[in-house]
Amino acid sequence: MLLRKITMFAAVATAAYATIEEDNVADFHLLCEIAQAEKLPPKTAEVNDETSSIIAEINTINMSLADEAWRNLFTGDAATGTWDKKAKDYEQATFKDDWAQKWNSWNEAKANLKAKEENKEWEQRFPRPQSPTMLKNARSKLESITVEAERLEDLIKSQLQNTGAAASTMANQKVKEAIYGEGLTNYAPEKGKTLAGDGTYGQACAGGKSGKTIANDLLCICVLATAGNSDECVTNSISEGWDTDPIPAIAKLIQKCPAKAGGPLTAAKLHGMISAFASRLRSHKNVASVYQHLGKMSAGGCTGATGQLCATYKSYFGDNTKGGITSIPWVKKLEEAANIISNSHNAAATTEALKAKLRALRVSAWTIYNGNEEAKSAITNTKGHDTQQLQPAAKECNKLKSNKSTCETTGK
């Protein structure tokens, strides 16, 4: 009878200890899945940028309608006609503030025009208006189109910064920071940025301040407070301890993670990881405090000994002054990554709408050039100076630039 009771007690004890290991291993696999997200390419939206070619085409139309004095300011040569080469000719002159920014585009327009004029295609398809009145009207309307096109170009450039490779890089950096720490995107953890609190087991793990990084929490549930072989998460491969330097164990633990399935990293996948983490959190009451944790806690907390390894998140829970799950630092980083991916798709949709408006402006530019139709009424923000206003300025610049005299533009 006594032997039977001893056998039953041993079986219960063994089952209890197996449960402890199963919890740590399950939590380890959860954190592993998140840690391996850095290997997945973020699924950000890609946008085909045709803005430059459309702007160049509108600028070429403008250049074709300008008078000779203005056109002769530009060589059309990329080697000698850029602003850094030509600025010295006008260093004592007073110009429009945007000449330095726009000069190279104008010079490119001159180059495009020269190429088209050489093969006569341009002149045959789009003969220059002969009537001075028509020419004046075309210049004025094209100036309005150009101003609006440049406004759209700026908006498109701003949106493109949130799409494609740029957004993918930003999202991946946020995931790496979630794993290793703020600013650490090179797979190299650092004690001060990776470990919570003062980097000791008591503060980083048992004291309720876990959650600084995924690497910190992996160490909390898998590495002993005092150096020694630990098999809480993986078998016979971790010998580091929190009393020495636990950092080298991070790479060992991640190397033991199961192979990650391929596929892109989406916002939904990141949100799913956060939800899985929330569902794995368990609560433990210790005296008057309730600890949310991964790993194993007993009546006395978690000491960092075998069977007593945990990551605790008490600092983020308790009352309405705490932010809960979403205030945990590495969770916030994953949320930021998810937002970058989502925003890239919103930015792509906005960009396509802006591109449609820009393409419509190009059509209007051709229509006005041929004198067949008025500019579309939707064109707004026409603050600027039309081509005709710049003609006297161009003549004066050409006449005076050799002696560096002041060149006053019209309509400043």
Residue 295 binned pLDDT confidence (cut-offs 50, 70, 90)? very high
- Pick the more confident residue, 95 or 229: 229
Residue 370 binned pLDDT confidence (cut-offs 50, 70, 90)? low
Average pLDDT for the chain: 81
Lowest mean pLDDT among 10-14, 86-90, 117-121, 328-332: 10-14
Percent of the chain with pLDDT over 90: 47
What predicted TM-score, i.e. pTM, was given to this entire model? 0.77
Query: Which pLDDT value is given to residue 207?
Result: 86
pLDDT in tens, 193-218: 999 999 999 999 988 899 999 999 99
Domain ranges of the chain: 2-40+169-327, 51-84+92-162+354-403
Residues 199 and 192: beta-carbon distance below 8 Å: yes
Query: Which pLDDT value is given to residue 289?
Result: 75
Q: Which residues contact 323 (CB under 8 A, 6 or more apart)?
A: 316
End-to-end CA distance of the chain: 107
Average pLDDT over residues 261-276: 92
- Pick the more confident residue, 387 or 368: 368
- Pick the more confident residue, 323 or 298: 323
- The rounded Cα 177 to chain-centroid distance in angstroms is 14
* Cα torsion 122, 124, 126, 128: sign: positive
Task: State which of 231-235, 271-275, 298-302 shows the largest mean pLDDT.
Answer: 271-275
Q: Show the DSSP H helices in 87-163 as ranges.
A: 99-118, 121-125, 132-160
Query: Which pLDDT value is given to residue 12?
Result: 35
Residue 261 binned pLDDT confidence (cut-offs 50, 70, 90)? low
- As to burial, measured by CB atoms within 10 angstroms (0-12 exposed, 13-18 middle, 19+ buried), residue 338 is buried
Average pLDDT over residues 162-186: 94
Strand partners, 230: 238
